[in-house]
Structure 1
Amino acid sequence: MSIAKVIRERRSIKKGYKPDAVPEELVLELLNDAVYAPNHGLREPWRFVFVPSEKKEAFVEKLITVYPPETHEARREMYNQPAAYLIVIMKEDPRQKQWEEDFSAVCALIQNFQLLAWERNLGVVWKTNAHNWDPKAHQILGVAPGEKIVGFLHLGFFDEKDVPEARPRTRAEEKFTRFE
């Protein structure tokens, strides 16, 4: 399959995950390719917290405590849908240029991971919910001062018949100018 085809056909899988466990070995295999994302000075500013399928329920029970009690049941239902989680954390450099380079590198790594996962029928959606910035969630995940959660990746295998339709994209020509 061509790279262009994979890029155009990849979808965020937000629901309809199969109950199949997501093997840690597969996540590591995908990450070991994804880390080839461009990153200035090979700073590799990322680290990962994997929540395997067999630990997901306990994780969800801790995560929902970040939210008001009246929302726990809805959050529990939502967060139990994926089969597993991969939380991507970056070291925050106090220098703006390096921070932006590092954030861009982590985003490129996440996109690499999504494309590699798609090739293996592992659905991914990259989430940036309110808990990404919540100190209680940071404590649950061991996020240290000077670190940032870039995304919660919801993971799960999917049935090809449940893949969402492509949504239209604006053609590049409509956002393209030429320096004169």
Structure 2
Amino acid sequence: MSISKVIRERRSIKKDYKPDAVPESLVLELLNDAVYAPNHGLREPWRFLFIPTENKETFIERMLPVYAIEQQQTRRELFSAPAAYLIVIMKEDPRQKQWEEDFSATCAMIQNFQLLAWEKGLGVVWKTNPHNWDPKAHQVLGVAPGEKIVGFLHLGFFEEDSVPKPGPRTPAEKKFTRFE
């Protein structure tokens, strides 16, 4: 499959995951390619927390108290949908330039992961929910001071007929100018 085809056909898979477990070996295989994202000075500012299918219920029980009682049932349902999770955590550099370079590199690495996963038939959606910034969630997940959750990646295999249709994209020509 060509790179342009994978880029154009990849979709965020947000629901209708199969119950199949996501093998840790597959996640590691994808990550070992994804980390070839450009990153200034090869700082590799990321680390990963994998919640495998078999540990998902424990994860859910520990995460629910982060939310108000009236939100917990909805959160339980949302947390239960994916087969597994990959949480991408970035070390925060106090220098603005380096922080932005590291954040950009981490985002590029996540996009690499999504494209590689798509090629293997693994659905991913990159989420930035309120718990990404919540100190209680950080404590549950072992996110240390000086670290940032860049994304919760929801993982699961999917049926081909459940893939969302592509949304419209603005042609680059409409957002393109040339310096004169």
After superposition, the C-alpha distances for 1:3-61 in whole angstroms (9 at most, x for unaligned) are 00000000000000000000000000000000000000000000000000000011011
1:48-127 equivalent positions in 2, closer than 5 A = 48-127=48-127
Alignment correspondent of 2:167 = 167
Q: What is the alpha-carbon distance in structure 2 between the residues aligned to residue 58 and residue 14 of structure 1?
A: 21
Q: What is the alpha-carbon distance in structure 1 between the residues aligned to residue 78 and residue 22 of structure 2?
A: 18
Gap runs ≥5 in structure 1: none
CA deviation after TM superposition for structure 1 residue 164, in Å: 0.3
Q: What is the alpha-carbon distance in structure 2 between the residues aligned to residue 60 and residue 155 of structure 1?
A: 15
Q: What is the alpha-carbon distance in structure 2 between the residues aligned to residue 64 and residue 85 of structure 1?
A: 15
**Counterpart residue identity of residue 40, structure 2:** H
**Counterpart residue identity of residue 20, structure 2:** D
Q: What is the alpha-carbon distance in structure 2 between the residues aligned to residue 144 and residue 121 of structure 1?
A: 33
State the identity as a percent: 79
Spell out structure 1 runs of 4+ moving beyond 3 A.
Answer: none
Alignment correspondent of 2:15 = 15
RMSD (CA atoms): 0.4
Q: What is the alpha-carbon distance in structure 2 between the residues aligned to residue 175 and residue 62 of structure 1?
A: 45
After superposition, the C-alpha distances for 1:60-107 in whole angstroms (9 at most, x for unaligned) are 111121110011111101110000000000000000000000000000
Q: What is the alpha-carbon distance in structure 2 between the residues aligned to residue 162 and residue 67 of structure 1?
A: 30
Alignment correspondent of 1:34 = 34
Q: TM-score, normalised by structure 1?
A: 0.99
**Counterpart residue identity of residue 164, structure 1:** P
Q: What is the alpha-carbon distance in structure 2 between the residues aligned to residue 36 and residue 64 of structure 1?
A: 35
